[in-house]
Every structure is written in structure tokens, then in C-alpha cells.
Structure 1
Amino acid sequence: MTSKVPFYLSVALLILAGIALSVFRHQNYGVPWTPGATSKIWDVEARIEFSGQNKPVTVSLAAPTTQAGFTLINESSSSSGYGVSYVSTDSGRRAEWSVRNANGPQTIYYKAQFLVDPQANVSPVPPKGEIQAPTFSGPVESAAMALIKQATERSANDMTFTRELIKSLNDTDSQNASLILNDLTKVEAVDKLLAYAKVPSKIVGVIELEDGRRRQSIEHINQVWDGSKWVLFNPNDANPVIAENILVWDETNVSLLDLVGGKNSQVHFSMIAQEVSSIQATQEKAMADGLLNFSIHSLPLEEQAMFKTIMLIPIGALIVVFLRVIIGLKTSGTFMPVLIAVAFVQTQLLTGIVGFLLIVGTGLVIRSYLSKLNLLLVARISAVIITVILIISVFTVVAFKIGLTEGLSITFFPMIILSWTIERMSILWEEEGAKEVLLQGGGSLLTSVLVYLAMTNSFIQYLTFNFIGIQLIVLAGILLLGTYTGYRLTELRRFKPLAED
């Protein structure tokens, strides 16, 4: 007797693979488990103002990129008469505008959209080269060494060292801190002291995100390398910055804005937040993130809509297998109810049921006449197909003429499947009688309705479309149901007399 251990092992592997794929989609791509979840998108706009001097102008602005917690999904520029391009330079990514001649007040807008994304696809760039120690004057150098020695004794690594150093700089009673801050801002002092202590760090320009805020300026804070990622520190607070509402705009701090051919330049930032559905957020991330290029979400919308229906068919197959194997419900054809349910999705349930009964009923009457002609099978099936097409055409025209626009959707019915259904029911009528036809026809219609209810459930639609691992779990369920050899529930009525005795 063949061992079923490999079979059950394969089923278990399918279930585990399906769960793993689904969890991976949720954790790495941020796809929520429920369709009602929303994601936040920040629209950040930079407004650049300057005065032209009646000569060629070149404007260069530091441009942001995808970073930890935020995925850049779109960027655009509004600058009438200017050429614009996005370039990568030694000083980081920049947006550049140019015009042959500009005179008087000029305004340029740059807009970037960021999706709040804890799973943002970003690889931190580690510090390069040897850290160059800064030079201080005699008294300042002595104060710097004293602060560094104190912070070193109270710390265990670069992160705690930075924290202790910031504490010392914010100590109003410390003469060493006061001496250093006479000529340096806090952010510059922290950067130079960290460089003196050979701790990898840099100054970055950030924006504090606040819904509806206008005319905000770039703030400068420190970033320290902890060995695997960059950690933000506010020089006014010893604790690391919580980056949920902090957007790093300028990572290099070389130059936020460069202007050639103009004067009196300034740049201000405005921002607004909006909530979007999880599906829209996934689509936006698919367009911006190369990791999703092999996902259904990377396809054009027309093909996505098609797959949204295709992914529901395995659910219908699972329901059919359960009803036939466990319940013992009889249907006309194995998976004909699934195809009819797909048609119901297009026609709506009530219209679909009425159309199905009209087409099959009329087809059976005409098929009974064809059986008297003793035609060959191929010719008879072909005649039934043409008859079904004529029936659908007539019913559609009649529905339109009497004002039932819902009847126009009856054309979504699969004509070939209906033709074979009529042929099978006609043969069954001749061999088993009308009762068996009603049993199988009613079972098919009931199954189609149940499959339709499952296919139109928003939660099932969302899971099957966004988590392809669900298909593997459904496949495992169908394989397990296929091994069932016990009684169907409808067969248990044979034992009713024994129960009465």
C-alpha cells in the first residue's frame, strides 16, 4: 500500500509556503491584512523665490530620496519657462532648473510625494574614508578634550557617547560647553566633537512634518553611524530623534540651494497629509519600488482588473469540491457552477439567475426537438451553440426594448458552457427523468449562488488579489478534500430508519 506521508508532507509545505508568502508581503511590502486599512501620503512642496538679473539663470536644489520610513512615490516641478532635470552628483541628488534669461521676481515650485512606509526599500550608505579631525584653538581644544573624556567615561558605544556629549553641551553650568559654543552652533559643535573623537557622523537638513504647515525652513541636526544605519540626534536633546515625523531632505549638507544669475534667493516648505486606501498605497509603491516589479500590482490597470477576477476562481473551485465531496450536492458538470458564478459577478445575482433559467429552459425545449432529428453529436452541439446565441440575442433585444437595461449584461454568460449544459441536461432527462435534471440543475444554481457570494465578498477579493500565498493554501485544502472517502452528508439519510429503530 502506497504511503501517504509524502502527500501530507507536500500539503504541509504548500500551507507553510502560502503563510510565509503572505506574511512576507505584509511585513516587507506593508500590505495590510484588511481592505479597510489606510496609509498616509505626505505632499511636501518647496517654494523657491529669487530675483533675476536679466541674464541666464541656473537653480539647483537638493532633492530627497527614499529613506527609512518614507518611500518617494512621485515628484514634479512647476516652473514656467524653465527647463528641469533631476541629476545625481557628488553632493547627492539634486533638481536643476535653467532658463536663458530671467528678470525680476521669480518663483519655482518643486513637489515631492512620500508614502509613510515602515518597509521602505533603502540601503544605508556607510561612511567612507578616514575621519579628518578638526582643529581648535588652544583653550577650545582643551575644553573639547575635557568634554570628550567625560562623555567617553560615561558611555559604552558611539550612540551613548553621542548622547552624553549632547548632555554636556546642554549643561548651562559647564564652562567647557560655554567656551565651545561661543563660536559654534550646537549642531556644528556636536559634529566637530564627534569628528575629533573619530565617531562617524554628518549634518543633515530635515523637515518636521506637520499637516497644514506653511513656510517652514530646513532644520539641521546630527546623524551618527551605529554600524548598520544612520541615527538622528537633535543637538538640543540628548535622546535620539524619533523619525516618524522627521523627513531628511538634504543628506549631504553641502548646499541646499545654489543660484547662478540671480540674487536674494530663499526656499520655504509647505506640507499636507492625505489618507489613501491600502490598495492605492500598494499601487503607488509598486510604481516607485523596484522590489514589486514581479508583482501583479506592477501590471497595467486593465490586466490587474482581469487578474482580480482570475484570482477568485480557486475560491470557487474550493467551494465546489467541498459541496460535492463533503455535502454530496449534485451539479451539472464539475466546474460549470464556477463559470456561471463569474457571469453572475458581471450581471448581478438576480439578473443572472433569471437569465440562466430562461436560456437553459428555452434551450432544453429546442434541444428536445433536435433529438427527434437523430443528428450526429457534433452537428447537434453546433446547433445548440447557435441556438443559445440566438436566445441570448433575442432576450437582450427584448430587455432593451422594454426598458430593462440590466438584461443587456446577459451577454456575459459563457455560451459554450451553457450549450454543453443544455446538452448534458437533455441527455440526463432522457436517461434519468425530469427529477434528476431538477436535482442537478438546482444543485448547479445553488452552488453558483454560493460561489458568487464568496467572489463578491470584499474581504475575500482583497486577500486573494494582494496575497498570492492564499492560492497555495487553497490548493492544499483542495488536495486534502480530495483524499476524503467517507459518506457524504446527503447520504446519511439512508440510515434514518436505523436511527428511528
Structure 2
Amino acid sequence: MTSRVPFYLLISLLIIVGMSMSIYRHNVYGVPWTAGQKHQVWEVEARVEFQAKGEPVKVSLATPDTQEGFTLINENTSSPGYGFALINTEDGRRAEWSKREENGQQILYFKNQMLVDENANYPIEPPLGNVTPAVLDGPIKTAADALLEQARQRSADNVTLARELIKQFNDKESQNAALLTKEMSKAQAIVAILSLEGIHARVVGALQLEDGRRRQNIIPMVEVWDNEEWQLFNLDTGVQDTFENLLIWNEKGTPLLEVMGGTNSQVSFSIIAQDISPQQATDEKIQAESLLNFSIHSLPIEEQAMFKTIMLIPIGALIVVLLRVLVGLKTSGTFMPVLIAVAFVQTQLVPGLVGFLLIVGTGLIIRSYLSRLNLLLVARISAVIITVIMIISVFTVVAFKIGLVEGLTITFFPMIILSWTIERMSILWEEEGAKQVLIQGGGSLLTAVLVYLAMTNDFVRHLTFNFVGIQLVILALILMLGNYTGYRLSELKRFKPLVKD
């Protein structure tokens, strides 16, 4: 007797792989399990203004990249007449404009879109080498040492030391802090003092994301390395800040804006929020990540639309298997109801049912005449195919003439399948009578309607298109149903007399 262990192992493998692929897609790409959810995208526009001096111009602006909580999905510029390039440097990404000669007031725009993404894929870059202590002289060095000593006594590690320093700078009574802030900014002073202790720290520029904000300026903050990751500190509160609605624009501590050939330069930011569908979010994220992936979303839109329907066919096959194997419903053809249901998706249910009944009914009448001619099978089937095409053409023209636009969609029906359906029903009528034709025809229509309802369900369409691993789970279920050898539900009436007895 053949062992069933390999079969059960195959079933288990299909389910595990299919579910793993789906969970991975949910966790990594953020695709939700249910349809109708929205993803938020922040659109940030930087406005660079400066006065050109009539000489070659070169403008460099720090730009953000994918980071904790955000995935960069798009960036572009509006700067007619200027050359433009995005450059990856050791100090981070920068947008650069250039022009041979320009004079007068200049305005450049740089826009990017950041997808709110809790699964954003970004590398944690630890600092390199040892910290070079800041060079401080005279009273500035004395004040810095005093602040450092006091903070050292009240701290236990790098993070708490930075927090205590910020508290001292926010203390209006601290003369040492006031002396340092006269010579440099608060953020630069804190980074300088931390360097005296050998702690890696840097000044970063952040934006508070609020929908509809205009002319917003960069907020200076400090990041401190805690030997595992960078910790962000709010200089006004002294607490470690979260990245919720906080976008790090300039994370390397380099100058935000550099202008050669111009004066009076400044940059401001405008922010708006918008919601997009999960499919759009997934498309944008896949395009943003330059990696080899086998997702349907990486295909052109036209091919995606085609696969959106193709991926529903396994659901129809599963329903057919359930109805035939467990329920015992008879259909005309094994998977003809699935193809009819696909046609119903294009035509809508009621026009599709009416069109199907008209075509098959008319075809049966014509087929009954062809049977009297005693034609060979191939010739008879060919004649039926041509007849079906003529019937569809006539019905379509009539529907158009009387103003029934829905009738135009009848051309979506699979003509070859309809021809074989008419042939099978005609033979069945001749051999077993009209009752069996009604039973199998009615079973086919019922199955097609159920498959149509499943195919047009938003949840089913969302799962099959966005989670390819579901197809493996469906395959495993069909294989399991293929081993069912018990009674069908339709056979229970055979035992009804026993119940009465």
C-alpha cells in the first residue's frame, strides 16, 4: 500500500510556505489583511530662495532618505533652467542645482513624498572612529568642563548624560550655559561638550509634520550614540523624542543649505498629508526599493489588471471542488462555471444571466436541427461555434439599437466554452431527457453565481491579488479535498427512508 506520508508533507509544506509568504508581505511591505484601509503619505516641499550675483551658481540642499517610520517613495524638483542631480555623499544625500550664470532673485523647489511605514527598511549606521574633542579656549572651556562635571555626577550612561546636559542648558539660572550659547547654538554646544567625554553626537534637522503647514523651519535636535543606535533628543524638553510625525530631514549634521554664487539664502518647508490605498502604497514602496522582487505589483499596470482577474480563478476552482466533491452538485462541464463567472464579472450578474440563457437556449434549438443532419462531430461543433458567434452578434446589435448598453458586454462570454456547453446539453437531452439538462444546467448556473459572488467580494479580491502565497494554500485545500471518499450531501436523500423507518 502506498504511503500517504509524502502527500501530507506536501500539503503541510504548501500551507506553511503560502502563509509564510503572506505574513512576510504583511510585515515587510505593510500590506493590510483587509481591504479598504488607507496609508498616509506626507508630501514635503522645500522652497530655496537666494539672490544670485551674476556668476556661476551652485546650490546644495540636504535631503532625507528612508528612516525609522518613513519610506521615501518619490522626489522631484521644479527648477526651470537649472541642472539638477541627487548625489549620495559620505555625509548623506544631497540635491544639487547648477547654472552657468544667473542674476537676481531665485526660487527653487524640491519635493518628496514619505510613506508612513512602521516596517521601513533602513540601515543603522554606527559612527566611525574615535571622537575628536572640540577645541574650546579660556572661559568657554572652563564653563564646558563645569557643565560636564555636573551632568556626569547625575548620569549613568551616554543617554542620561546628554539628558542632564540639556536640562542645564534649559536652566535660565545657569551662567555657564548662557556663556556657551553666546558663542554657539545650543545644539552645537551640547555636541561639543559630549565630544569632551568621547561620546559620539551630532546635530540633526527635523520637521514637525502637520497637515497644511506652510513656511515651516527646520528644528535643530541632537542625536547621541548609545553603543547600539542613535537616540534623538528634543532640545526644548530634554526628553528622547519619538519619530511619530517627526521627519529627520538632515540626519548627518551637515549644513542644511549651501549656496555658491548667491547671497541671502534661506529655505522653508510646506507640508500636506494625503491618504492612498494599500495597493498604491505597495506599488510605491516596491518601486522605491531597488531590489529584485517577484511581486505582481512590480509589473506594468496593464499586466497587473490582467493578473487581478487571473488570480481569482483558483478561488472559483476551490468553490467548484467543494460543490462537486462535498455537496454533489452536478454541473455541465467541470470548470465551465468558473469561466462563466469570469464573464459575469465583466458583464455584471443580471445582464450576464440573461445573455447566457438567451445564447444557450437559442443554441439548443439550432443544435436540435443540426442533429437531424447526421453531421460528423468536428463539423457539428464547428457549426455550433459559428452559430454562437452569430447569435452573440445579433443580440449585441439588437441591444444597441434598443438602447440596452448592458447588452454590449455579452461579447465577454467565452464562445468556445458556450459551444461545447450547447453540444453537451444537446447530447444529454437526447440520452437522458430534459430533466438532466435542467439539473446540470441549473447546477452550472448556481455554481457560476456563487463563484461570481466570491470573485466580486472586496476581501477576496484583496487577498488573492496582494498575497500570492494564498494560492499555495488554496492548492493545498484542493489536494486535500481530492482525497475525500465519503458521502456527498446530495446523497443523504437516499437514506431518507431509513430515517422514517
TM-score where L is the length of structure 2: 0.95
Q: Write out aligned runs for 1:47-86 (5 A).
A: 47-86=47-86
Who is 2:438 aligned against?
A: 438
Q: Which amino acid aligns with 1:116?
A: V
Who is 1:466 aligned against?
A: 466
Task: For 2:137 and 2:284, locate their aligned partners in 1 and report how far apart those are by CA, in whole Å.
Answer: 53
Greater mean deviation of Cα atoms: 318-327 or 30-39:
30-39
Q: Which amino acid aligns with 1:486?
A: G
User: How far did 1:321 drift?
Assistant: 0.5
Q: Which amino acid aligns with 1:98?
A: S
Who is 2:481 aligned against?
A: 481
Task: For 1:42 and 1:33, locate their aligned partners in 2 and report how far apart those are by CA, in whole Å.
Answer: 23
User: How far did 1:315 drift?
Assistant: 0.6
Task: For 2:177 and 2:101, locate their aligned partners in 1 and report how far apart those are by CA, in whole Å.
Answer: 49
User: How far did 1:329 drift?
Assistant: 0.3
Greater mean deviation of Cα atoms: 288-297 or 73-82:
288-297
User: How far did 1:408 drift?
Assistant: 0.9
CA RMSD of aligned residues (A): 2.0
Q: Which amino acid aligns with 2:318?
A: L
Who is 1:369 aligned against?
A: 369
User: How far did 1:81 drift?
Assistant: 2.2
Task: For 1:189 and 1:262, locate their aligned partners in 2 and report how far apart those are by CA, in whole Å.
Answer: 29
Who is 2:342 aligned against?
A: 342
The answer to whether the Cα contact below 8 Å between 1:85 and 1:97 also exists between their aligned partners in 2 is yes
Who is 1:301 aligned against?
A: 301
Task: For 1:227 and 1:473, locate their aligned partners in 2 and report how far apart those are by CA, in whole Å.
Answer: 44
Task: For 2:173 and 2:82, locate their aligned partners in 1 and report how far apart those are by CA, in whole Å.
Answer: 53
Who is 1:315 aligned against?
A: 315
Task: For 1:294 and 1:133, locate their aligned partners in 2 and report how far apart those are by CA, in whole Å.
Answer: 49
Task: For 1:290 and 1:228, locate their aligned partners in 2 and report how far apart those are by CA, in whole Å.
Answer: 27
Task: For 2:108 and 2:10, locate their aligned partners in 1 and report how far apart those are by CA, in whole Å.
Answer: 61
The C-alpha deviation readout for 1:376-431, integer Å capped at 9, x for no partner, is 22222222111111111111111111211111111111111111111111121122
SS at match of 1:439: helix
Who is 2:499 aligned against?
A: 499
User: How far did 1:193 drift?
Assistant: 2.1
Q: Which amino acid aligns with 1:191?
A: V
SS at match of 2:183: coil
Task: For 1:305 and 1:149, locate their aligned partners in 2 and report how far apart those are by CA, in whole Å.
Answer: 66
TM-score where L is the length of structure 1: 0.95
Distance change (3 Å), C-alpha of 1:450 and 1:61: same
User: How far did 1:91 drift?
Assistant: 3.4
User: How far did 1:264 drift?
Assistant: 1.4
Q: Which amino acid aligns with 2:452?
A: Y
SS at match of 1:27: helix
User: How far did 1:471 drift?
Assistant: 1.2
The answer to whether the Cα contact below 8 Å between 1:134 and 1:196 also exists between their aligned partners in 2 is yes
SS at match of 1:215: strand
User: How far did 1:465 drift?
Assistant: 0.7
Task: For 2:498 and 2:36, locate their aligned partners in 1 and report how far apart those are by CA, in whole Å.
Answer: 51
Q: Which amino acid aligns with 1:279?
A: Q
Task: For 1:144 and 1:260, locate their aligned partners in 2 and report how far apart those are by CA, in whole Å.
Answer: 34
SS at match of 1:244: coil
User: How far did 1:150 drift?
Assistant: 4.9
Identity %: 65
User: How far did 1:34 drift?
Assistant: 1.6
Q: Which amino acid aligns with 1:347?
A: T
Q: Write out aligned runs for 1:190-229 (5 A).
A: 190-229=190-229
Q: Which amino acid aligns with 1:135?
A: V
The answer to whether the Cα contact below 8 Å between 1:286 and 1:292 also exists between their aligned partners in 2 is no
Q: Which amino acid aligns with 1:233?
A: F
User: How far did 1:223 drift?
Assistant: 1.2
The answer to whether the Cα contact below 8 Å between 1:25 and 1:31 also exists between their aligned partners in 2 is yes
The C-alpha deviation readout for 1:445-487, integer Å capped at 9, x for no partner, is 0000000000001111111111112112211221221121111
Q: Write out aligned runs for 1:319-330 (5 A).
A: 319-330=319-330
The answer to whether the Cα contact below 8 Å between 1:325 and 1:484 also exists between their aligned partners in 2 is yes
SS at match of 1:431: helix
The answer to whether the Cα contact below 8 Å between 1:46 and 1:109 also exists between their aligned partners in 2 is yes
Who is 2:116 aligned against?
A: 116
The answer to whether the Cα contact below 8 Å between 1:55 and 1:261 also exists between their aligned partners in 2 is yes
Who is 2:289 aligned against?
A: 289
Q: Which amino acid aligns with 1:125?
A: E
User: How far did 1:314 drift?
Assistant: 0.8
Greater mean deviation of Cα atoms: 217-226 or 5-14:
5-14
User: How far did 1:146 drift?
Assistant: 5.0
SS at match of 2:42: strand
Long gaps (5+) in structure 1 = none
SS at match of 1:205: strand
Q: Is the counterpart of residue 15 in structure 1 residue 15 in structure 2? A: yes
Who is 1:403 aligned against?
A: 403
The answer to whether the Cα contact below 8 Å between 1:292 and 1:298 also exists between their aligned partners in 2 is no
SS at match of 1:241: coil
User: How far did 1:260 drift?
Assistant: 1.9
Q: Is the counterpart of residue 260 in structure 1 residue 292 in structure 2? A: no
Distance change (3 Å), C-alpha of 1:14 and 1:358: same
The C-alpha deviation readout for 1:96-117, integer Å capped at 9, x for no partner, is 2222332222211111111111
Greater mean deviation of Cα atoms: 141-150 or 375-384:
141-150
Task: For 1:188 and 1:160, locate their aligned partners in 2 and report how far apart those are by CA, in whole Å.
Answer: 18
The C-alpha deviation readout for 1:14-51, integer Å capped at 9, x for no partner, is 22222222221111111112211111111111111122
Task: For 2:32 and 2:484, locate their aligned partners in 1 and report how far apart those are by CA, in whole Å.
Answer: 35
